Amino acid sequence: MPLRILGVDPGYGRVGWGIVEKFRGDITYIAHGCIETSPKVSFSQRLSDIFVALEGLISTYSPEVAAIEELFFAKNVTTGIQVAHARGVILLALHQANIPSKTVTPSQVKQSMTGYGRASKRQVQEMVKHCLHLKVIPSPDDAADALAVAFTASPLFFVEK
């Protein structure tokens, strides 16, 4: 039986998500999208909105495992802290749904998708399109990143059913 993997690119304004299935070494695209929160509501409400939306995705797609990208921020510490809060909410939703999760770094994603740990975002997106046999690059960027996270983490979940 296939293993369904949820990939997540954390954020608080936009959370990218992607679902793939792994079966006997093959990885198949299932779905992707973005959870978007309104800047017009409180930060705590935005975190709650992420949690509720992720619960809905989990209910709809029934992933068995998840992968979430590690945070990397070099310029804006305040934004990084807010994204870290969102990442915590995402991890909580996964934990409460009993979904084991793995963390992958941005350089692991780039290395996995392109063979080069400093690849450009565009190169990673092109490889997501190619590796998942899609006609176009998934949009928005956050969703393409989430699919790359799921794809990268798939070897970490080596238990085949």
- Domain ranges in the chain are 3-156
Choosing from 9, 21, 49, 64, which is the catalytic residue? 9
First-last CA distance in the chain: 5
Q: What is the pLDDT of residue 87?
A: 96
Q: What is the pLDDT of residue 156?
A: 79
Q: What is the pLDDT of residue 1?
A: 87
Choosing from 21, 49, 142, 145, which is the catalytic residue? 142
Choosing from 36, 69, 70, 126, which is the catalytic residue? 69
State how far the Cα of 59 lies from the Cα of 54, in Å rounded to an integer: 9
Reply yes or no on whether the pLDDT at 160 is more than 80.
Answer: no
Active site residue 145: no
User: What's the whole-number mean pLDDT along residues 26-39?
Assistant: 97
User: What percent of the chain shows pLDDT beyond 90?
Assistant: 85
Q: What is the pLDDT of residue 73?
A: 63
CA distances from residue 73 to 10, 40, 83, 123 in whole angstroms, order as listed: 12, 24, 10, 20
Strand 3-9 vs strand 14-23: parallel, antiparallel, or unpaired?
antiparallel
Strand segments, DSSP code E, in the chain are 3-9, 14-23, 26-36, 65-69, 101-104
Reply yes or no on whether the pLDDT at 51 is more than 80.
Answer: yes
State how far the Cα of 96 lies from the Cα of 86, in Å rounded to an integer: 15
Reply yes or no on whether the pLDDT at 158 is more than 60.
Answer: no
List b or e across 90-103, with b for residues whose CB sees 16 or more CB atoms inside 10 angstroms: bbebbeebebebeb
Residue 72 pLDDT grade (very low, low, confident, very high; cuts 50, 70, 90): confident
State how far the Cα of 145 lies from the Cα of 149, in Å rounded to an integer: 6
State how far the Cα of 117 lies from the Cα of 31, in Å rounded to an integer: 26
Q: Using only the alpha carbons of the chain, give its radius of gyration.
A: 15
Q: What is the pTM of this model?
A: 0.93
User: What's the whole-number mean pLDDT along residues 111-133?
Assistant: 94
Active site residue 55: no
Residue 161 pLDDT grade (very low, low, confident, very high; cuts 50, 70, 90): very low
User: What's the whole-number mean pLDDT along residues 97-112?
Assistant: 95
Active site residue 21: no
What top-level class would CATH report for the domain 3-156?
A: alpha beta
Report the Cα 17 to chain-centroid distance in Å.
5
**Considering the chain, what is the average pLDDT of its residues?**
93
